[in-house]
Amino acid sequence: MKPYYNQAEIDELKIEYNAAYEKYLCLSDRIKYFQFAEYKAKEYANHGLLRRLKYTWRSIERIFKFLPLDLEHLPDETVCNDTVIYHEAFFVNLYGCIDNLAWMLVYEKRLDDKEDLKKKSGELLRSKIGLFKNHEFIRGNLSQEFQDYLNQSDEWLKYLINFRDAIAHRIPIYIPPFVVSDENTELYESLETKKFLAVKIPSLNFAEIEKQQLELREFRPEFIHSLIEEPKSVIIHYQLLVDFKTLYEIILLLLKELPNKPKVHSISLKDLTLKPSP
C-alpha cells in the first residue's frame, strides 16, 4: 500500500510538527512564568491551562506515532482504537484550554465582580463564561484585536464545540480501518458476493477471493463521528496541527489582555519586627 501523503506533503507536515513543538515549549514557559495578580487566575493557568496544554501536545505526539506519515500498511484495530482514545483526549483538553483561558480572564481582570456574569444569588453564572460566540459580555471586554480574531475564528470554534459535544454526549470519533476507492467499489462488492458463494461452492477459492479484496483496501488518515452529520470526514495530521496553531494564537492574544504584573501587598514595619524565639 502506498502512503496516503506524497513526499512533499510528508516533508511539509514534519516541518509543521516541529514548529508546533516549539510553540508548545514557548507557551509552557509563558504561562508558567506569567505574573498573575489574582490567585484564582494563576490557579486556572497553572493547574488548568498548563496541564491541558501538556495533555494536548502528548495526544498529538501519540497520534503521529500510531499513524506515521509514511504508513505503508493497513493499521490494525488496536492502533485505530488507541488513536481514537488520544484524539478524543485532544478534543476534550483543547476545548478545556479555551474555557480555562476565559476563567483566567474573568479573575485577572476582575470581571467576576460584574453583575452581567452573576446569578441573583451572587454566584458566577458558568454558562456566561467562555470565549465562544454566545459569550458576548466576555468578548465585549476584550481588545478589538482579540475580538476580531475570535470573530474570524467562529467557524473553527463551532467545529471544536461540535466534536467535543459529540464525544461527550452523542457519537464518538471513529477512524475507519480501511476504505475502498469509488473506482474499486463495484469490484470489491462483487468479490464480497463471491465469498458468500465460496462457502457453498468448493471450486471457488475463498482465500484467493479475500486476497483480491485486501489488495483493493487502502488507508486514509481521516476521522468522523457521524455518517449523517457534517463534516463527513477530517484529515487527521493536518487538522491536529491547525488546531494546535489556532490554540497557540488564542493563548498569546489572551495573555496580551492581562497586565502581567503581580499584586503588590503592603507590608507594615510591625510585620518586619523580629520576634524572640519561644
114-156 per-position pLDDT tens digit: 777 777 677 777 888 889 999 889 999 999 999 999 999 999 9
The confidence score (pLDDT) of residue 28 equals 94
Q: What is the 3-state secondary structure (H, E, C) of 179-227?
A: EECHHHHHHHHHHHHHHHHHCCCCCCCHHHHHHHHHHHEECCCEEECCC
Average pLDDT of each block of 10 consecutive residues along the chain (278 residues)? Answer: 91 96 94 90 94 97 96 92 95 96 92 75 79 90 94 94 87 87 83 79 79 83 78 88 96 89 49 44
Are 20 and 84 contained in the same domain?
yes
The confidence score (pLDDT) of residue 230 equals 66
**Listed residues 198, 218, 238: the one ending a domain:** 218
The confidence score (pLDDT) of residue 186 equals 85
Are 102 and 41 contained in the same domain?
yes
Contact 274, 261 (CB under 8 A): no
For residue 278 the three cell numbers come to: 519561644
The confidence score (pLDDT) of residue 262 equals 55
Going by C-alpha positions, the residue among 247, 249, 225, 228 that lies closest to residue 236 is 225
Residue 71 placed within a domain: yes
CA atoms in the 13 A half-sphere facing the CB of 272: 4
What are the DSSP calls for 219-267, one per residue?
A: ---EEBS-SSSSPS-EEHHHHHHHHHHHHHHHHHHHHHHS---PPPPP-
Residue 223 placed within a domain: no
The confidence score (pLDDT) of residue 261 equals 63
Are 104 and 26 contained in the same domain?
yes
The confidence score (pLDDT) of residue 215 equals 83
Are 56 and 172 contained in the same domain?
yes
Question: Domain span at residue 201?
Answer: 179-218
Return the residue matching grid coordinates 479484496: 213
How many domains is the chain built from? 2
Are 83 and 111 contained in the same domain?
yes
Contact 99, 172 (CB under 8 A): no
Are 152 and 254 contained in the same domain?
yes
Are 81 and 206 contained in the same domain?
no
The confidence score (pLDDT) of residue 200 equals 77
Residue 198 placed within a domain: yes
Q: Cis omega (within 30 of 0) on the bond before 231?
A: yes
Which distant-in-sequence residues (6+ apart) come within 8 Å of 205 by Cβ? 198
Residue 38 region by backbone torsions, left for phi larger than 0, else alpha for psi between -120 and 50, else beta? beta
Residue 122 CA to residue 271 CA, distance in Å, equals 35
**Listed residues 218, 249, 273: the one ending a domain:** 218
Are 116 and 240 contained in the same domain?
yes
Residue 267 placed within a domain: no
